[in-house]
Structure 1
Amino acid sequence: MPNSILESVTCQICLTMMEDPRALPCGHVFCLKCVHALYDNIARHSRIPLEAVDIQCPNRCTPIKVTKEGIDSFAKIFILNSIIDSINQTGVCQTHNDIMGFIDITNGKLSCADCLAAKIRPEAPSSDHESVKSIQSFAVARDTLKSSLTDLITRSKDTIAKLEEGVKALKQGIDEEQKKLNAVEKEINTIFDNIQRKLEDKRRKIQNDLANGIPQLTAARNYVSKLAAMSQCLQGAVSQVPEFLAANNIPTAHQASLVPFLRSGVHLQTVFTRKNNTALNILKSLHSDALSWRHYQISVQYYDVFSTSFCTFKVIYG
């Protein structure tokens, strides 16, 4: 009888884990390839070709006659195939040469029965005693993990629900803040649009004022021309008087010669007086206009958006 499961799946011919285990009529199980090798060895040492040879089980059972093709008809041992597949998946303990039948559900580390027994011995370290609590057989570990995963799913669903609520709340808060920002932006745009509109109105008004001031300046320039011309005219008249008096220095006794002098003097006086009166009328007309061209001013008022105060600039002509 084999001492362990690992021995039960070990071929007694090749001494390795069986591949495609087949049962001989005597009931012993070997690898299919090993049975073929046994047949080939007997047939190779036969002196004459044989259709069938007698092969004997390594356990010294009664020899059986079998053909090459008949070997493939030996019964397959499916249960051993399942055990072998399981062992291939779990592996073999390198320390005790036994199959891994236990798992630590905290880290997934596999161990055999001898490993587990070593951990629970009195002389084993306390850390080994503590770690045994999480080591279970595959069947128990499966149920434990199923229960743990089911509980984890439930708790995860609760966490997901809370996360979704948090996301919803954050999105709502973001939307509200975005609305506030949009409102502030709209208000700022409105304020600056109003400022720009007022500045544009002021600019047009200043342009109109400047346009209206040009005729007044033109009129003032005309006054200057008239005054200069009249001043020059009066200066000419003034310069004629001394010349006239010097040229007509006639004694009083010669009354007959005084007539041309007096007539010329009267004419000069009349012209002088007329020119002087014309100049005075120009000056009077200029003063009657209150010298409006000198007092013409342009007021520019704008709103300082940075100091939030009104400032006024005045441009005064004259």
Structure 2
Amino acid sequence: MLRAKKTLFILGLTAACLLSACSQSEQGNKTSNTNTKKVAITAIVEHPALDAVRQGVIDELRAEGYEQGKNLQLDFQSAQGNTATAGQIAKKFAGNNPDVIVTIGTPSAQSMVAATRKIPIVFAAVTDPVAAKLVTSWEPSKTNVTGVSDELPLQPQIDLMKQVVPNLKTVGYVYSPGEINSTVVLGQLQSLLAKDGITVAAAPAQRTTDVPMATKSLQGKADLIYTSLDNNVVSAYESMYKVAKDMKMPLVASDTGSVKRGAAVALGVNYHELGTATGKIVGRILKGEQAGNIAPQRMTADQLDLMVSKSHAAEQGITFSEQLLKQAKLVD
């Protein structure tokens, strides 16, 4: 009986020690992870411009001392162009409660803002965050939302179009009616071009697969096609380029990455730099600032890059002036 009691005492002591060790181990893990920051990133779709934004955020966080695997935990999810999926991702991220959520593209930002009013949200590549109802103005929101817009001053874009086609009469515009960014740009284009007696031929494309047909519908109706950062259009740029080449229709883009993919010329934001600017805001929040105290930012005219492709221009039936070529940052 005494031996049995002794055995039970030893087993009980062993179990207590094990529980104590486990508790200490868990506490140790918690202690070691207290400095780890969690940043969730979501994009409405993956294409070169939005991918460059994401990489810019990551690069800037690394420059500020936040490195994945050391003191930074990153979770990236793409909605693959599906707004319903964007909503599911938003709910998941809200439940995970990261330190900051970065949303790339308007639909993802809208879904995330609808999902949480507590977790700091930093949007990127959103043309008009006020029209998208992410914030009420360009002043600090006093909510959980801030970010960096890719809104471009359109007059320099129009000046470029006139250089590409000196006797410009009609600008073709392929866009997604369901994307607020694209409809805002359409309205601005129509207003500004009307002052010069230039009209806009709008060609809606609800889905990525509709882009080639929408492009083809502009044959004989436009002198060039201007593309904004419409996610459907940018995702399908190669297919648009093939149609434009067959029609001898110049492509003028606001996304500099589109030059490599078929545009003849682009004047636009460097999206890696936009990501860097976004990363700076994320860093400020990780260091203690409130998102609602940081005013949303816009890229300025002096941050725009001019890029041209002489080979794509030739395929699309135009040549560039020496003056334009001298201004360009990259010429192939």
Classify the TM-score, shorter chain.
under 0.3
Q: Which one has the bigger strand percentage?
A: 2
Q: Which one has the bigger helix percentage?
A: 1
Give TM-score scaled by structure 2 length. Answer: 0.18
Structure showing greater radius of gyration is 1
Give TM-score scaled by structure 1 length. Answer: 0.19
